[in-house]
Amino acid sequence: MSRPISRRPMSRTAYQASVAALKTAHPWLAKQVVEPAPGHLAVLAHFVGQCELLMKPADYRHLPLFCATNQRDKLSLRVELVGASINKDRALLDLIEAARHAAQQHCPVCSAPVIGGDANAGQGVRCKQHEATIGLFAEDVKRNHKLAVAAGLLPAATKPEKSVRGEPLDPSIDEAVHALVQSSPDMKPPAAAPEQPAPQAPRATPQIAFLDAAGLRSFVERHRAKPDEKAKRAQYIAERIRAAGHERRKLGELPDDWPQLIEDFQRDFPNFAELADVMHDHFALHAMGDGRVEWSPILLVGPAGIGKTEAARWLAARLSLPFRVIDMASTQSSSPLAGSESFWSNSEPGVVFELLAYQPLANPVIVLDELDKTDQQRQYDPLAALYTLLEPRSARDFIDLSIRDFAINASHVNWVATANSTEGIPAPLLSRMTVLQMQAPTPEQVAHIAQQIYGRMRAESSWGSAFAPRLDELVVDKLKNLPPRALGLVLKRALGRAAREEQDHIRVSDLPDMSSPSRNPMGFMA
């Protein structure tokens, strides 16, 4: 029986040579950040080649933004092409998603294949040989393994008393390692704990049956005889579905620190305590099972500008779930949700199909914004598709009107609707949702929110470090009577004025006029 292939970690020198070779092969990478894990170099090289297929000569003259790094054993990619079309941006996002998932199937240390890696998980997966090691390069792995063995954190490997040439082994190396461990109090073995519970086996990522593969094949075959454009479109749709997972889909999981996530949400959205309580119930329930992120459809009712949509966006970002907002006030039919009829020449799938079929997670967050302002007097009811989508049983077999050959499982979508009131929303829809009344934040809560928004603006901007860590209390006092939606706009304007004066903080005089009844300089209403 053949022995399994043993892959070795890469030395720092070999790694640096490989990165240099990659930059030589693709000169436009010369001034870009290329620092992936050693085991992800092959995946990155393939990704770079795919990116170049999307580029034009102008993209090389105006170098794109490219950043490839390693974060917690995962490949992190950021690419932006100058002046790219919407379709090209979408294609680039698909390539990034595919590369991230491909990287998760390889050990970041030695590139050995691993099973079960998920690009949306908080931590990358290492192979069996290196799952208990620390570090990425051969030198680090070897040194940290010796220290861990000497500290009693890993079992010592049995070794012969003599070398292969019959010479006695030099014990000085082990003595030096032992002395180093004893001199480092953090590395000393912990006190004996005889009755510690055995560590739990890692939980498998939950998956669902997403569609019938036979129906997908039937869809492609039926379009083969049609005009070239429609045949290519059918083939393109099928290829994207297969790339995202074919007939199966994964479900995004709760992070290990989800209770901390709830606390952070309550801190950033103090007036959304009821929503935080509902989320806490759902998360606690599913944490006892397979850890999936799932909640019943929720309707947030409250005044405009208090942060209803932003709260949903925050949750999706922290849970690493796909996110989409649908403006129901401007929707003229159900086609944005359920697609347009296939007999139209410009028929296109709806948001639900695109969001589920073209990416690997089946539990995205979809926001139905301003649900109460939907015009239901039109010939085609914009709310018609929701009667199916908000009911889990019927959503399991959701059929997009543009692609009737097969159904998809849309029962795991996490829905959040927003409205100023429940008037105008049909009772059958209200019965399918948990209705939460959201209150406008108090001035004290707005003051807290203002500091949070200011902190995020500093952290997410290249110029953030030029300004003071916190807002002056006099400035906060002027801001606390504004709606949360207005805070970001006002602060951005004030920061611009402070920059013009070369100040490192915002003064009250930098705030735009917020009290003049004759004009509204920021373009918002309370």
3-state secondary structure 36-55: CCHHHHHHHHHHHHHHHHHC
Average of per-residue pLDDT across 237-252: 90
Using CA atoms, how far apart are residues 484 and 406, in angstroms rounded to an integer? 44
Strand partners, 415: 366
3-state secondary structure 273-325: HHHHHHHHHHHHHHHCCCCECCCCCEEEECCCCCCHHHHHHHHHHHCCCCEEE
Helices (H) and strands (E) in the chain, counts: 19, 12
User: Which one-letter DSSP state was computed for residue 442?
Assistant: P
Instruction: Tell which wins on pLDDT, 49 or 201.
Output: 49
Instruction: Count the helix, strand and coil residues of the chain and give each as a percent rounded to the nearest 5.
Output: 45, 10, 45
Rounded distance between C-alpha atoms, residue 476 and residue 473, angstroms: 5
Q: For 454-474, what is the mean pLDDT?
A: 88
The per-residue pLDDT for range 423-459, each reduced to its tens digit, is 989 999 999 999 999 988 888 888 888 888 888 888 8
Token reading at 499:
């920059």
What pLDDT score was predicted for residue 20? 92
Phi, psi torsion values for 136, nearest 5 degrees: -115, -25
- The token pair that represents 465 in the structure block: 């470090």
- The CA angle 252-337-238, to the nearest 5 degrees, is 65
Q: How far apart are CA 376 and CA 426, in angstroms?
A: 10
DSSP label at 161?
Answer: S
Name the least confident of 10-19, 134-143, 456-465, 491-500. Answer: 134-143
**Residue of higher predicted confidence among 413 and 424:** 413
Place 163 in a pLDDT band, splitting at 50, 70 and 90: low
Token pair of 219 as six digits? 């869809």
Q: Which residues contact 499 (CB under 8 A, 6 or more apart)?
A: 463, 466
How high is the pLDDT of residue 324?
A: 94
> What proportion of the chain, given as a percentage, has pLDDT over 90?
37
pLDDT at 166 over 90: no
Distances (CA, A) of 458 to 47, 220, 462, 469: 32, 49, 8, 8
* Residue 42 burial by Cβ neighbours in a 10 Å radius (0-12, 13-18, 19+): middle
Cα atoms found within 13 Å of the Cα of residue 109, Cβ hemisphere only: 23
Instruction: Compute the radius of gyration of the chain from its Cα atoms.
Output: 28
Which H, E and C letters describe 448-476, residue by residue? HHHHHHHHHHHHHCCCHHHCCCCCCHHHH
Strand 65-71 to strand 74-80: parallel, antiparallel, or no bridges (unpaired)? Answer: antiparallel
With bands split at pLDDT 50, 70 and 90, how would you rate the model's confidence at 517? very low
Question: Which pLDDT does position 145 carry in this prediction?
Answer: 64
- Does 340 score more than 50 pLDDT? yes
| Phi, psi angle pair for 76, to nearest 5° | -110, 125
Please compute, for residue 264, the number of CA atoms within 13 A of its CA located in the half-sphere on the CB side.
10
CA distances from 175 to 150, 161, 183, 312 (A): 10, 15, 12, 57
The whole-angstrom separation of Cα 286 and Cα 281 is 9
Is the per-residue pLDDT at 109 higher than 60? yes
Give the list of residues 6+ apart from residue 313 with CB closer than 8 angstroms, or none.
323, 325, 367
Write out pLDDT tens, residues 275-321. Answer: 999 999 999 999 999 999 999 999 999 998 888 998 999 999 999 99
Q: Who's near 195: CB < 8 A, 6+ residues apart? A: none
Kind of pairing, strands 33-35 and 65-71?
parallel
Report d(CA 36, CA 69) in Å as an integer.
4
Residue 334: band (very low, low, confident or very high) from pLDDT cuts 50, 70, 90: confident
pLDDT at 212: 86
CA distance 526 to 514: 11
Identify whether the C-beta of residue 72 lies closer than 8 Å to the C-beta of residue 108.
no
